[in-house]
């Protein structure tokens, strides 16, 4: 894909011309993240997080492959092999902290990326497939991160594995046999550890594959932008390189400063000390929590405390999975033709004062002990969460009167001079929300 | 910018606005500084990624082996382990020493006398790596009843290298004598290898 004014790749060096005729890989890169990809000129720093997520994936694969050279996936030695990495392997402490904190930062980046998409309705036509693939990536990330956390075989690893596989035990009829099949036993042991290790190594490459589809789908309509108005002419865009390579490079620098602060100065701040106790199948830690990035969904799981038609345990599991699965239906739940939250006053209020505080409460409660007031707070927040996506969003998109949209991205950036010389907004409601073909 | 005609190479400089006239622009400096910082950072990251494959601290900790020689009779040999590889410790008989000394050193592939391959005052103790210098197999001859080769020392069954009683290469493809590791006698009957 591209806009008609996209720069064509014209290799000058004979070697590059030779390569281009036989394997046009440089052309592919040029058109994907080079000067051949025209991008809206008004992207804010919120649009950095896609590249940052890609960087995190590469970071995790590189450090992970290296750690796999030293780790032993055997229940008898796994814990000690992680200590071996920390104490004996050259730079092993750094590589492990880079990988563990890399997972946390991957989720920070991806959460911002997702909520950027939610605020600017990046899931709307013609970008539904990008969004759907993104939700698939998020689910794969959660599976990968969970299985990775099991590998050190500490107390949190073991009990995390037990609790999460226990979720499948809630499924009626087949639940218990399914759980035993998943674990290859009655409790997490060598069989579970080995299959988790195998899948933890495999899934990142599956993610990389879906990421390629995600970017492919992105390049068909091109990037969205903070106004939500589609690109109309060449003046609305700038080439990805050098404009956004520079902007993303700056963002990457800021990201790396914060990330390395954690790796070198707060390496265990985001982890749990109990995971430095070897796995003990006979003793559950007093306060068992998943990694912080699962807390909102963990809070939803625990919000269901009494049986109502179905057992509470099943409700919790269904709600937890539905909390993410409902994102798949977003493109069809939100019917507003206007994309950007900047031009949707009612949506903006519900997003900033409804969804964001709701997620904050879920984060807080997921990491808190399962006692009052956290249980009641998670119940209220869980109710709002589903209400927001399934009821509020469709209704708001029907009743809301959006604010005037700029005619084009260029107008949004430079303003439209009127006859009297003043600059004013310009809109025909809804008209600019559809892509210019 | 979307020109349909390919710009001539010498036009390329002037299309960039003011680049032709100014000697060094602020942007040139920023560009070089940014790319250099990224390059140095990249190399700094590469170093631990390469270094992690080198022997880890627990492997390096295996690099000395202490042995008690008191039970080894003249004519006997034992195999010990040094850095996960076999070491041959051989208590030479006077006949074996005489046989080794009788050889014309200049006729050898890797000229060395027996005295150069043992410690002064411990001339009967021949301590060598049990690793054939050809391709790394373990030669025979240290164990009871094993083939000692044509020269009464060691014989490598993989590719047929024959070593004499001073573990010097005499026949076959191996390029050098069996390696003498660093070692020292801490007492008359205790040796520390490595």
Encode A82-118: b = buried (16+ Cβ within 10 Å), e = exposed.
bebbeebbbbbbbbbbbbbbbbbbbbbbbbbbbbbbb
Run of H or E residues at B161: strand B161-164
A291 as an active site residue: the answer is yes
At B7, is the pLDDT very low, low, confident or very high (cuts 50, 70, 90)?
very low
Flag if A7 and B57 touch (Cβ within 8 Å): no
Run of H or E residues at B82: strand B77-82
Of residues A435 and A407, more confidence is placed in A407
- In the sheet that B77-82 helps form, which strands lie side by side, from edge to edge? B77-82, B85-91, B125-129
Question: Of the candidates A90, A94, A95, which has its C-beta nearest B56's C-beta?
Answer: A90
Report pLDDT for A420: 54
Report pLDDT for A286: 84
Is the pLDDT score of A307 beyond 90? no
d(CA B188, CA A2): 83
Report pLDDT for A417: 55
Three-state secondary structure of chain A = CCCCCCCCCCCCCHHHHHHHHHCCHHHHHHHHHCCCCEEECCCCHHHHHHHHHHHHHHHHHHHHHHHHCCCCCCCCCHHHHHHHHHHCCCCHHHHHHHHHHHHHHHHHHHHHHHHHHHHCCCCCCCCHHHHHHHHHHHHHHHHHHHHHHHCCCEHHHHHHHHHHHHHHCCCCCCHHHHHHHHHCCCCCCHHHHHHHHHHHHHHHHHHHHHHHHHHHHHCCCCCCCCCCCCCCCHHHEEEHHHHHHHHHHHHHHHHHHHHHHHHHHCCCCCCCHHHHCECCCCCCCCCCCCCHHHHHHHHHHHCCCCCECECHHHHHHHHHHHHHHHHHHHHHHCCCCCCCHHHCHHHHHHHHHHHHHHHHHHHHHHHCCCCCCHHHHHHHHHHHHHHHHHHHHHHHHHHCCCCCCCCCHHHHHHCEECCCCCEECCCCCCHHHCCCC
Determine the average pLDDT of the residues in B185-192.
90
Flag if A7 and B1 touch (Cβ within 8 Å): yes
Residue B32 DSSP code: H
Partners of B184 in beta bridges: B192
The nearest alpha carbon in chain B to A234 belongs to B2
Could you report the per-residue pLDDT of A89-99, keeping only the tens digit for each?
999 999 999 99
Nearest to A305 by CA among A383, A359, A379: A379
Partners of A136 in beta bridges: none
- Give residue A430's Cα distance to chain centre: 29
Q: How far A237 CA sits from the closest chain B CA (Å)?
A: 12
User: 3-state DSSP call for residue B10?
Assistant: helix
User: 3-state DSSP call for residue B147?
Assistant: coil
Determine the average pLDDT of the residues in A171-192.
92
B159 as an active site residue: the answer is yes
Percent of chain A with pLDDT over 70: 95
Report pLDDT for B166: 92
Nearest to A248 by CA among A5, A37, A65: A37
Of residues A256 and A372, more confidence is placed in A256
Percent of chain B with pLDDT over 90: 57
**B101 contacts B117 by C-beta, under 8 angstroms:** no
Partners of B190 in beta bridges: B68
Flag if B34 and A249 touch (Cβ within 8 Å): yes
Percent of chain A with pLDDT over 90: 81
Could you report the per-residue pLDDT of B139-170, keeping only the tens digit for each?
999 888 889 999 989 999 999 999 999 999 99
Flag if B2 and A234 touch (Cβ within 8 Å): yes
Is the pLDDT score of A426 beyond 70? no
Report pLDDT for A227: 94
Is the pLDDT score of A285 beyond 60? yes
- Look at strands B161-164 and B169-171 and give their pairing: antiparallel
Report pLDDT for B2: 40
Could you report the per-residue pLDDT of A349-363, keeping only the tens digit for each?
999 999 999 999 999
Report pLDDT for A419: 53
Probe site for chain B from A6, A16, A70, A91 (most B CB atoms < 10 A): A91
3-state helix, strand, coil in chain B (%, to 5): 25, 20, 55
d(CA B92, CA B73): 9
Report pLDDT for A127: 95
Q: What residues of A are in the B interface, CB distance below 8 Å?
A: 5-7, 10, 12, 62, 66, 69-70, 84, 87-92, 94-95, 234, 249
The nearest alpha carbon in chain B to A64 belongs to B49
Partners of B154 in beta bridges: B163
Is the pLDDT score of A431 beyond 70? no
**A184 contacts A195 by C-beta, under 8 angstroms:** yes
**A117 contacts A327 by C-beta, under 8 angstroms:** no
A247 as an active site residue: the answer is yes
If one counts every other C-beta atom within 10 angstroms of the C-beta of residue A36, the result is 20
User: 3-state DSSP call for residue B73?
Assistant: coil
- In the sheet that B161-164 helps form, which strands lie side by side, from edge to edge? B152-156, B161-164, B169-171
Nearest to B68 by CA among B188, B194, B170, B177: B188
Determine the average pLDDT of the residues in A209-235.
94
Q: B59-193: CATH homologous superfamily?
A: Rieske [2Fe-2S] iron-sulphur domain (2.102.10.10)
Exactly one of A72, A121, A223, A378 is catalytic; name it.
A223
At A305, is the pLDDT very low, low, confident or very high (cuts 50, 70, 90)?
confident
Q: How far B17 CA sits from the closest chain A CA (Å)?
A: 15
Residue B140 DSSP code: B
Determine the average pLDDT of the residues in A118-136.
96
d(CA B33, CA B5): 34
Nearest to A83 by CA among A285, A290, A278, A291: A278
Is the pLDDT score of A112 beyond 60? yes
Cα Rg of chain A, angstroms? 24
Report pLDDT for B8: 42
Q: How far B12 CA sits from the closest chain A CA (Å)?
A: 12
Determine the average pLDDT of the residues in A53-79.
97
CB half-sphere exposure, A197, CA atoms < 13 A: 21
d(CA B92, CA A307): 85
At A42, is the pLDDT very low, low, confident or very high (cuts 50, 70, 90)?
very high
User: What does pLDDT average to over chain A?
Assistant: 91
Q: Which residues of A touch B59 (CB under 8 A)?
A: 88
Residue B48 DSSP code: H
Could you report the per-residue pLDDT of A253-279, keeping only the tens digit for each?
999 999 999 999 999 999 999 999 999
For A142-146, A262-266, A389-393, B19-23, which range has the lowest pLDDT when averaged over its residues?
B19-23
Q: What is the ipTM of this complex?
A: 0.80
Under 8 Å CB pairs connecting chains A and B tally to: 42
Residues in chain A, how many?
A: 437
Flag if B56 and A94 touch (Cβ within 8 Å): no
At A306, is the pLDDT very low, low, confident or very high (cuts 50, 70, 90)?
confident
Positive or negative: CA dihedral A40, A112, A128, A384:
negative
B7 touches chain A (CB under 8 A): no
Nearest to A168 by CA among A149, A190, A188, A145: A188
**A259 contacts A99 by C-beta, under 8 angstroms:** no
Report pLDDT for A168: 87
Is the pLDDT score of A436 beyond 50? no
Exactly one of B22, B134, B159, B162 is catalytic; name it.
B159
Flag if B51 and A91 touch (Cβ within 8 Å): yes
- Tokens representing B38 are 């990224």
At A2, is the pLDDT very low, low, confident or very high (cuts 50, 70, 90)?
confident
Instruction: Give Cβ neighbours of residue A399 (< 8 Å, ≥ 6 apart).
Output: A346
Is the pLDDT score of A74 beyond 90? yes
Q: How far A406 CA sits from the closest chain B CA (Å)?
A: 26
**A303 contacts A379 by C-beta, under 8 angstroms:** yes
């Amino acid at each position: 894909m591209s806009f008609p004014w996209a720069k064509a790749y014209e290799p000058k060096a004979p070697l590059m011309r030779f390569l281009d005729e036989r394997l046009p890989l440089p052309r592919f890169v040029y058109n994907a993240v080079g000067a051949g990809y025209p991008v809206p000129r008004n992207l804010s720093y919120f649009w950095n997080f896609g590249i940052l997520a890609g960087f995190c994936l590469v970071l995790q694969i590189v450090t992970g492959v290296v750690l796999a050279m030293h780790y032993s996936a055997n229940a008898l030695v796994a814990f000690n092999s992680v200590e071996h990495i920390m104490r004996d392997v050259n730079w092993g402490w750094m590589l492990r902290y880079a990988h563990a904190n890399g997972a946390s930062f991957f989720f920070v980046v991806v959460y911002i990326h997702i909520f950027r998409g939610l605020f600017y309705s990046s899931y709307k036509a013609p970008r539904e497939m990008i969004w759907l693939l993104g939700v698939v990536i998020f689910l794969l990330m959660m599976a990968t991160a969970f299985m990775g956390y099991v590998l050190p075989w500490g107390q949190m690893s073991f009990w995390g594995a037990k609790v999460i596989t226990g979720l499948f035990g809630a499924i009626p009829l087949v639940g218990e046999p399914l759980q035993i099949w998943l674990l290859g036993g009655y409790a997490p042991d060598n069989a579970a550890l080995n299959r988790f290790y195998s899948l933890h190594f495999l899934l990142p490459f599956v993610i990389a594959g879906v990421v390629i589809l995600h970017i492919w789908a992105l390049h068909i309509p091109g990037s969205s932008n903070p106004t939500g108005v589609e690109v109309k002419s060449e003046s609305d865009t700038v080439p990805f390189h050098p404009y956004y390579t520079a902007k993303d490079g700056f963002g990457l620098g800021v990201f790396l400063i914060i990330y390395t602060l954690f790796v070198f100065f707060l390496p265990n701040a985001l982890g749990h000390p109990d995971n430095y106790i070897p796995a003990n199948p006979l003793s559950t830690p007093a306060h068992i929590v998943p990694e912080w990035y699962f807390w909102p969904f963990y809070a939803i799981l625990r919000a269901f405390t009494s049986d109502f038609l179905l057992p509470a345990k099943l409700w919790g599991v269904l709600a937890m999975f539905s909390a993410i699965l409902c994102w798949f239906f977003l493109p069809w739940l939100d019917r507003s033709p206007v994309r950007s939250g900047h031009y949707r006053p009612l949506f903006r209020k519900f997003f900033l004062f409804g969804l964001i505080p709701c997620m904050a409460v879920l984060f807080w409660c997921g990491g808190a002990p399962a006692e009052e007031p956290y249980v009641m707070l998670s119940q209220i927040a869980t109710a709002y969460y589903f209400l927001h996506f399934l009821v509020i969003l469709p209704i708001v998109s029907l009743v809301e009167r959006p604010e005037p949209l700029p005619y084009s991205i260029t107008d949004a950036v430079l303003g439209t001079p009127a006859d009297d010389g003043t600059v004013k907004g310009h809109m025909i409601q809804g008209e600019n929300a559809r892509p210019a073909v | 910018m979307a020109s349909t005609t390919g710009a001539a190479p010498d036009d390329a400089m002037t299309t960039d606005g003011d680049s032709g006239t100014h000697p060094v622009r602020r942007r040139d400096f920023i560009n070089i500084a940014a790319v250099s910082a990224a390059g140095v950072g990249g190399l700094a990251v590469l170093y631990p990624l390469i270094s992690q494959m080198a022997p880890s601290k627990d492997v390096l900790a295996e690099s000395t082996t202490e042995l008690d020689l008191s039970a080894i009779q003249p004519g006997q040999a034992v195999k010990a382990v040094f850095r996960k590889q076999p070491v041959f410790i051989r208590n030479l008989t006077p006949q074996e020493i005489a046989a080794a000394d009788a050889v014309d050193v200049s006729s050898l592939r890797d000229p060395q006398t027996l005295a150069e391959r043992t410690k002064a005052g411990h001339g009967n103790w021949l301590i060598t790596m049990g690793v054939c210098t050809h391709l790394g197999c373990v030669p025979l001859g240290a164990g009871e009843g094993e083939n000692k080769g044509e020269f009464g020392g060691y014989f490598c069954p993989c590719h047929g290298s024959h070593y004499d009683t001073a573990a010097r290469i005499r026949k076959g493809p191996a390029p050098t004598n069996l390696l003498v590791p660093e070692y020292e006698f801490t007492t008359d009957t205790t040796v520390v290898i490595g």
